[in-house]
Structure 1
Amino acid sequence: SVLHSNRAQAALLLGNHRKALIDSEMAIKINPGNLKGWFRAAKSAFGLGNLQQCMDFCQKGLLLANEQTELLSLLETTRAALSKAEEQVIRDKHVQVEIKLYIEEVLIRNLVFGPPILGTQERFPEFSKDRSSFLHWVLFVYPEYSQTDVIKYFDEHTTFHEHLDYMFSDSNCPLAWDKEGVYTRESLELYYQANAVQAYSIDFLENILLEQSGVYQKYDFIQGDGHQFNDALIDPRDKYFVRVKEDTTLKQVLAAEDHVIPGHPVIYIVSQDSEFKIRFLAGNWEL
Structure 2
Amino acid sequence: MDNTKKNWTDQERQELAAKLDKELDDFIDKLPKKKYEDGWPEDRWEEEMDKHPFFMKEPPKPGDEVHPLFEGLQKLKYDPEENEPEDLAVNYKEDGNYNFKYKNYRLAIISYTEGIKVKCENPEINATLLNNRAAAHFFLKNYRSSLQDCQLALKIKPDYEKALVRAANCCFEMKQYQNAIEFCDVILNKQKDNEVILELRQKCVNEEKLKKRNERKRDIEIKKKEKEEEELIKEIIKRGYKIEGGLKGKLSLDKLEPHFPQLVHNRVFLDENNNLIWPVVFVYPEYKIMDYIQEFNEKKTFSELFELVFKSPPEWDTDKKYKPKELAIYFETLQKKVKYVRNETILGNVLASKDYVIKGGTPSFIIMVKGSPAEKRFLEEY
**TM > 0.5 between the two?**
yes
Q: Which runs of 5+ in 2 are unaligned?
A: 1-126, 238-242, 244-254
Structure 1 unmatched runs, 5+: 196-237
Deviation digits for residues 197-228 of structure 1, max 9, x if unmatched?
A: xxxxxxxxxxxxxxxxxxxxxxxxxxxxxxxx
Equivalent position of 1:125 in the other structure: 268
1:16/1:151 Cα in 2 relative to 1: closer, same or farther (>3 Å)? closer
Q: 1:81 aligns with which of 199, 207, 219?
A: 207
Other-structure match for 2:220: 94
**8 Å Cα contact 1:156-1:251 kept in structure 2:** yes
- 1:137-152 equivalent positions in 2, closer than 5 A: 137-138=279-280, 140-145=282-287
Q: Judge conservation of contact 1:194–1:260 (CA < 8 Å) in 2.
A: no
Residue of 292, 312, 327 corresponding to 1:188: 327
Change (3 A) 1:104 1:58: same
- Larger strand proportion of the pair: 1
Q: Does the CA-based 8 Å contact 2:331-2:338 persist in structure 1?
A: yes
CA deviation after TM superposition for structure 1 residue 77, in Å: 3.1
Q: TM-score, normalised by structure 1?
A: 0.63
Query: How far apart are residue 247 of structure 1 and its match?
Result: 4.9
- Corresponding residue for residue 373 of structure 2: 275
Aligned pairs, how many? 236
Partners of 1:113 and 1:250 lie apart in 2 by 17
Identity between Structure 1 and Structure 2 (%):
26
Query: How far 1:39 moved relative to its partner?
Result: 0.9
Task: Give me the CA root mean square deviation.
Answer: 3.8
Hey, what does 2:72 align to over in structure 1? none
Matched residue type, 1:275: P
Alignment-mate amino acid for residue 271 of structure 2: S
The match for 1:249 is: 346
Q: Tell me, in whole angstroms, the C-alpha distance in 1 between the residues paired with 2:168 and 2:338.
A: 63
Residue 357 of structure 2: aligned partner:
258
CA offset digits 1:10-34 (Å, max 9, x no partner): 3323333233222212333333332
TM-score normalised per structure 2: 0.50
In 2: Cα distance, 1:31 partner to 1:55 partner? 20
> Secondary structure of the residue that 1:144 maps to in structure 2?
coil
Aligned counterparts of 1:144 and 1:185: Cα–Cα separation in 2: 16
User: One-letter code of the match for 1:47?
Assistant: E
The structural deviation recorded for 1:92 is: 1.6
1:193–1:259 CA contact under 8 A, matched in 2? no
User: 2:230 is matched with which residue: 78, 94, 104?
Assistant: 104
How far residue 178 of structure 1 moved from its aligned partner, in angstroms, is: 4.5
**Residues 198-237 of structure 1 mapped to structure 2, 5 A cutoff:** none
Which digits, 9 at most, give the CA deviation of each residue in 1:157-208, with x for residues without a partner?
Answer: 23324444x4599xx667776455643455422245679xxxxxxxxxxxxx
Q: Which has the larger radius of gyration?
A: 2
* 1:54 corresponds to: 180
Alpha-carbon distance in 2 for matches of 1:13, 1:176: 58
**Per the alignment, do residues 53 and 183 of structure 1 end up closer, same or farther by CA in structure 2, a change over 3 Å counting?**
same
- Between structures 1 and 2, the one with greater helix share: 2
Residues 78-127 of structure 1 show CA distances to partners (whole Å, capped at 9, x for unaligned) of: 23332332222122212211221222233220454244426344212343
State the alpha-carbon separation in 2 of the partners of residues 77 and 177 from structure 1: 61
- From the superposition, tell whether residues 55 and 191 of structure 1 become closer, same or farther in structure 2 (CA, over 3 Å): farther
User: Equivalent residue for 2:157?
Assistant: 31
Change (3 A) 1:118 1:7: closer
Q: Which amino acid in structure 2 is aligned with residue 40 of structure 1? A: R
Q: Give deviations 1:224-269, integer Å, cap 9, x for gaps.
A: xxxxxxxxxxxxxx8886644545432344467631245x554432
CA distance in 2, matches of 1:272, 1:41: 76
